[in-house]
């Protein structure tokens, strides 16, 4: 039979690994929320650009823009 003294390191290890797993889970949730916020900001920026009527992205317009500036 295993006495309580020999169970102590396994108990400590299991509690320690559980805490590490919990912290990693919380960090994953926080980073996914932050990623979602940044992704929405980028989508709004792309939507604003694509709705502009006077925006010309053809190679000719880009070349002319470089010459004029």
**Per-residue pLDDT reduced to its tens digit, 49-62:** 555 566 677 777 76
Tokens of 17: 């690994």
| Model pLDDT, residue 31 | 96
| Model pLDDT, residue 40 | 80
| Model pLDDT, residue 34 | 93
Tokens of 62: 């880009």
Question: Could you tell me the pTM of the whole model?
Answer: 0.54
| Model pLDDT, residue 39 | 83
Q: Which residues of the chain have pLDDT under 70?
A: 1-4, 43-55, 62-69
């Amino acid at each position: 039979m295993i006495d309580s003294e020999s169970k102590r390191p396994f108990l400590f290890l299991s509690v320690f690994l559980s805490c590490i797993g919990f912290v990693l889970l919380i960090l994953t949730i926080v980073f996914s929320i932050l990623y979602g916020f940044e992704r929405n900001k980028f989508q709004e920026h792309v939507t604003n650009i694509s709705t502009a009527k006077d925006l010309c992205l053809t190679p000719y317009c880009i070349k002319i823009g470089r010459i004029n500036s």
